[in-house]
Chains A and B, each alone.
Chain A
């Protein structure tokens, strides 16, 4: 493999990784706060793809993109309100089952509304423009993704560490009960978390689908699961961990496909999962907690 091809593959990998990272952050944020694996997150990502298709067919891109954002955030927040909030005091299994149910519902809803046939993802003109940097050529979106990801992550980390709401989020994820006793408005914090996660999913979906070019009802389930694995790998509850997990996943997958093992590219994700669960279940950047007997 020549150097330029190798670098080209790296670029593809980093780009894919960036999209994965954004989605993985959504999982990690929600898990950190609610200890819930939001199985529906991947499907929210998928719905964002469909939202874009419909938005772009009626509006120019500079109106469509914010609309998609709003719609996706609304969807995420509504799901939390309807399917997760009532089960706050229920055993963990119930909430997980609810999440699975929501995922199931979204997939069936998409199949019903948009049919199971893949729909073409609209081209956002400037994103698909091909650029040449050095010996590498790719569409703007491929270059943009990792950069955008890092910017967003930086903003997020500042948000979490320097703002009031960020501190509230950290408090709730540390100790839910005490945080509520301290006067933190739990519902608001949780709604905000879901809003952020869904917003990230919307960004991720734009970046992901622009390259992929088609959306179908199950486009979200496997990437969703993979991104969850990425979050676990990096340490669930840790944003840097989710980002690193996303990039490693993206690079690893691209490498496997380049080497001709594309059928294993999906299994690769799960092998990664098993490995990390065996060696360090709390993930690369995760923390250990002990139970008081």
Chain B
């Protein structure tokens, strides 16, 4: 099993608040791994640490064997640091989100971030821009029309595969919610990723839509040879689709395992539902 993503002891501290505390996890090739936990557990923050939006306070992220992010507390943070892991010296490696996307990690967002006023087609086409060989002169003076042609063809093909082709000239923000989510995923796929991070892909969906999404995720995993790492609250989706699950609570990992193992884990139940009155004696 090749290791696609490895998070090593990732700790994210904002001021005095430790949002992610010593999180270590790994995602292997072709797996669908879920990160769950109550609201505010630090899941999206963990995602943001992987994609370079936040620089982790301490820890390391490896992607396909390469360390893409690494940091240790510096300056003021050295005094403020209250994470569980004792920081040791680590090289400082930082990358902006666009670089990380170029390396092959794509993501969607909790609150759908489409290019609202642009068409469905343009939304996906822009994601193709990254892989095209061109510069501003060749693009402006149309010297690169072959490259542009290819981008457009690939975009069209992707839209057809995602059953969005008939909407290609619609303005993105005018689409119904479910389709917007689909478009966001399609756009992420256009960057030709090896690892796809989905942040609450089923948010706001009804049971039927959630079932469609489940099939959809399986299908894209297979046809695009993807590895998928997702945050999700819809337990039916999580339990049905995940190979393994990591559970986060107050920034710390409290359980990991297969869906069955996690479902019956006491600490997980406690985290979600609270401790029962009997136990308080």
* A contacts, CB < 8 Å to B: 290, 293
Contact = CB atoms under 8 A, between A and B. Distances in A.
B44 A293 contact: yes
Q: Interface size for chain B: under 10, 10 to 19, 20 to 34, or 35 or more residues?
A: under 10
A293 B109 contact: yes
B167 to A, nearest CB: 26
A290 B53 contact: no
Contacts, number: 5
B14 A293 contact: no
B48 A290 contact: no
B14 A290 contact: yes
Contacts of B109: 293
Interface in B14-48: 14, 44, 48
A272 B268 CA distance: 55
The 5 A-B residue pairs with the shortest CB-CB distance, nearest first, are A293-B53, A293-B48, A293-B44, A293-B109, A290-B14
Contacts of A293: 44, 48, 53, 109
Nearest to A290: B14
A59 to B, nearest CB: 55
Contacts of B48: 293
A33 B44 CA distance: 30
A290 B48 CA distance: 14
Contacts of B44: 293
A280 to B, nearest CB: 14
A122 B43 CA distance: 66
A293 B53 CA distance: 8
A213 B141 CA distance: 58
A82 B53 CA distance: 41
Interface in B34-68: 44, 48, 53
A181 to B, nearest CB: 20
A174 to B, nearest CB: 17
Contacts of B14: 290
A290 B109 CA distance: 17
B245 to A, nearest CB: 23
A93 to B, nearest CB: 14
B57 to A, nearest CB: 14
Interface in B60-109: 109
A290 B13 CA distance: 13
5 contacts: A290-B14, A293-B44, A293-B48, A293-B53, A293-B109
B45 to A, nearest CB: 9
Nearest to A288: B15
A293 B14 CA distance: 14
A227 B30 CA distance: 60
A176 B53 CA distance: 26
Nearest to B51: A293
A42 B153 CA distance: 55
A293 B48 CA distance: 8
A21 B175 CA distance: 50
A293 B44 CA distance: 8
